[in-house]
Structure 1
Amino acid sequence: MTDAFAPHVNSTPSPLIRVGDSYDMADNGHHCSRTLNIDATLRNMTMRARFVLIAIAQAGSRITFEDLKNCIDAPYSLQGMYRVQHAITFDCRLRDEPLLSSLVVSKATGEVSDGMPVDPLDPDDAAKERDRCYLHWQTHDPFPTD
Structure 2
Amino acid sequence: MLRQSEKFEVKGRTLTVSSTDVEVMPRVRTFLIGVARSGGTATYGELKVGARLTHATNGLGRLLDLVGVDCRRRGEPDLAALVVTKQTGEVGDEYGAGAARERSIVHRHRWSD
The structure whose RCO (Cα within 8 Å, separation 6+) is larger is: 1
> In which range does the TM-score fall when normalised by the shorter chain?
over 0.9
Q: Name structure 1 gaps, 5 residues minimum.
A: 1-15, 27-32, 120-124
1:44-94 per-residue CA deviation (whole Å, 9 max, x = no partner) reads 222111000101000000000111011112121112111221110000011
One of 39, 51, 54 as aligned partner of 1:60: 39
Larger Cα Rg: Structure 1 or Structure 2? 1
User: CA-atom RMSD, angstroms?
Assistant: 1.2
Gaps of 5+ in 2: none
Equivalent of 2:19 in 21, 35, 40: 40
TM-score, with structure 2 as normaliser: 0.93
Runs of 4+ in 1 over 6 A off after TM superposition: none
| Structure-2 residue corresponding to 1:96 | 75
Aligned residue pairs, count: 113
1:23 match: secondary structure: strand
Query: Equivalent residue of 2:89, what SS?
Result: coil
TM-score by length of 1: 0.73
2:63 matched to 1:84?
Answer: yes
Is 1:135 matched with 2:105?
no
Cα distance between partner residues in 1 of 2:48 and 2:85: 12
